[in-house]
Structure 1
Amino acid sequence: MTTAQLDARNGSGRRSVPRRGLAAGRTGRAVLGASAVAAVLLVWEALSRTGAVPSGSIPPATAVLAELGRQLGLAEFWLAVWNTMSVAMIGLLLIVLIASPLALLIGLVRPAQESTWFVMEFLKPIPPVALIPLGLLLWGPSPGMKLFLIVMGAIWPLLTQLIYGLKEVNGVSADMARSYRLGWWLTTSRLLVPSILPFALTGMRISASIALVIAVVAEMVGGAAGLGQSIVVAQSAGALAEMYALILAAGLLGLLVNAGFRGAQQPLLFWHPSIRQKGNL
């Protein structure tokens, strides 16, 4: 029996094997990732216990993890998490509301693009930390100061991705839409949105991560309430295990935000070739 006949006889097998391979690949990546984290923790524990690094500066990993578990049961910890995450997500919402019409203006109107490129290239390299004195002067150590820094520092990935998405709109499709007189709504919903959405989700994921980083840094330097302020208070009090536990918590929040946006891509981009290709494997 030939290979083609075997494939025709067992047609479903051609799809099931790659799916098992994909599942095995995901499991393998998860195992490798968990193994790498475990290896880092073991090295950390060994270096601290053996005195290779001063335990007075870097406590053992087991002590930090135990403190993290204790923090998870404290209302003060969750209040700090809320103060950080809520402002970061509100800042991301403001970024979407600002960047979306601005990207349409810059991407579709040539004079707007030519007149704004210098301002954008000038503002992009300015680190948000450099604007903390201005934020404190205007709003003090408040959520308003954090929102200002988040918008100024995290808007650029989303804005840039939206502009790139507009430039990737297929010219033939746009000409066809004009020829058939589809109108503004159909052109936007069937052409512009599907073309921009993959870029927008990527930009939002990057901007959300940057927004969280800026929120923590603004709390550490500017004194606003949140995880950053708790880290500074723990460091000032000499509670190093608590300080490192809060740093780990901030890192885990970043992982959760990133994973949330990645998880949203598949149902929102089910029609995209990259997602369809994964689904067919």
Structure 2
Amino acid sequence: MAVADLTPPAGARAEARPGLPVLWDSRATDHALGAASVLGVLALWEVLGRTGVLDAQVFPAASTVLSELWFLLGTGGYWADLWATLSSALTGLGLVLAIGTVAALLIGLIRFVESSTWIVVEFLKPIPPIALIPLGLLLWGPSPTMKVTLITFGALWPFLTQMVYGIRQTNNVALDMAASYRLGRWLTTTRIVVPTLLPYALTGLRISASIAVIVSVVTELIGGASGVGQTIAVAQVNNALPTMYAYVLTAGLLGVGINLVFQGLEKPLLFWHPSQRGGTDS
């Protein structure tokens, strides 16, 4: 008699399993625990700031920073900075999607391309895009073009790597069966190739999106391009610490927002994947 596999699929949430007691419902508590953690950190920050454990000249109290953030939400300059950062990250991510998809198909499907490019890819991957800021400034100055170029360079490699790996994971048996049944290129692509590639593509895009935001903010901070990072640097120079920390929180919230967007995309696009299914197959 076969024994049921009680190991949850990779990425799946904790669910009830036959014969095992349910200690808590993770779906019901995830958001509550996350909110409680945020409130706990803010409360600790506030207490340490008010009691003098943290130097107020360096770390203003959480309430002061949140009050400044609330004020900035009503100003046009804040939203202009946020859009400058976000638009550069999204433009770079779009270029990553286009370039990475074509490059991955060529590398994954054509042996000659893989053999002739792997040294170049392995050489370029470890280079941090921040190290190329001086070159970018020489070529384009502190402009959106400089930001988008460095964002594309830094965010390309996770997506490209995931796509190539996904192409290699395509089930050859399934492809041979599709050929034997003469399904044609369209059905083979939509029913076999795309479902195999999609989880890898979304994972790569999720990682690349986070890198895109980081590179966008850092190029503004160091390179002087307009956006959230530039305002952080200006506020620090002018000793406007509440404004500086408010923009730092904005950068963090931007990353959280992008992560939530990708979580929302995964549910409808990967509804068939084990990571999104509630239970296990019997």
In structure 2, what is the Cα distance between the partners aligned to 1:143 and 1:184? Answer: 40
Is the counterpart of residue 248 in structure 1 residue 249 in structure 2? yes
Q: Which moved more, 1:45-54 or 1:152-161?
A: 45-54
CA distance in 1, matches of 2:280, 2:258: 24
Tell me the equivalent position of 1:82: 83
Asked whether 1:62 is paired with 2:63, we answer yes
Q: Match for residue 220 of structure 1?
A: 221
CA separation of 1:93/1:22 partners in 2, compared to 1, >3 Å: closer, same or farther? farther
The CA distance in 1 between the partners of 2:76 and 2:59, in whole Å, is 26
Q: In the superposition, relative to structure 1, how do residues 150 and 279 fare at CA in structure 2: closer, same or farther (>3 Å)?
A: farther
What SS does the aligned partner of 1:181 have? coil
C-alpha separation in 2, matches of 1:278 and 1:234: 50
* Structure 2, unaligned runs of 5 or more: 1-14, 17-21
Change (3 A) 1:132 1:278: farther
**Partner Cα distance (2:275, 2:39) in 1:** 32
Distance in 2 (alpha carbons) for counterparts of 1:94 and 1:219: 19
- CA distance in 1 between counterparts of 2:200 and 2:140 reads 33
Q: Which residue of 2 aligns with 1:184?
A: 185
How far the C-alpha of 1:98 sits from its partner, in A, is 0.1
**Is 1:204 equivalent to 2:205 in the alignment?**
yes
Q: TM-score, normalised by structure 2?
A: 0.89
CA positional deviation for 1:208: 0.6
Query: 2 CA distance for matches of 1:223 and 1:23?
Result: 49
**Letter of the 1:144 counterpart:** T
What does 1:69-218 align with in structure 2 at a 5 Å threshold?
A: 69-218=70-219
After superposition, the CA RMSD in angstroms is 1.9
1:23-38 aligned at under 5 Å gives the runs: 24-38=25-39
Name the aligned partner's letter for residue 127 of structure 1. P
Instruction: Count how many residue pairs are aligned between Structure 1 and Structure 2.
Output: 263
Identity %: 55
Query: How many angstroms does 1:24 deviate by?
Result: 4.0
The amino acid that maps onto 1:198 is P
Q: Partner amino acid for 2:56?
A: S
Partner SS for 1:165: helix
Q: 1:35 and 1:190, CA in 2 relative to 1: closer, same or farther beyond 3 A?
A: same
Per-residue deviation, 1:276: 2.8
Shift of 1:275: 1.8
Q: Displacement of 1:278 after TM fit? A: 5.5
Report the secondary structure of 1:277's partner residue.
Answer: coil
Q: For 1:16-46, what per-residue CA distance to the aligned partner results, in whole angstroms no more than 9, with x for missing partners? A: x95xx79942231222212211221122112
Q: CA deviation at 1:54?
A: 1.1
Shift of 1:161: 0.7
Q: Structure 1: 5+ residue runs without aligned partners?
A: 1-16
Distance in 1, Cα, partners of 2:226 & 2:261: 24
Specify the code of the residue in structure 1 equivalent to 2:253: L
Distance 1:252 1:230 in 2: 16
Q: What is the Cα deviation at residue 184 of structure 1? A: 2.3
Matching residue's letter, 2:266: Q
The Cα shift of 1:173 comes to 0.3
Q: Quick one: distance in 1 between partners of 2:96 and 2:75?
A: 32
Q: What one-letter code is carried by the residue in structure 2 that aligns with 1:152?
A: F
In the other structure, the counterpart of 2:9 is none
What is the aligned partner in structure 1 of residue 233 from structure 2? 232
Q: Which residue of 2 aligns with 1:3?
A: none
Residue 207 of structure 1 aligns to a residue whose secondary structure is: helix
Separation of aligned partners in 2, 1:38 and 1:273: 33
* 1:4 aligned residue: none
1:10-21 counterparts in 2 under 5 A?
none
Partner amino acid for 2:26? G
Deviations 1:54-75 (A, max 9, x none): 1101101110011111111111
Q: State the one-letter code of the partner of 2:198.
A: L
Aligned partner of 2:275 in structure 1 is 274
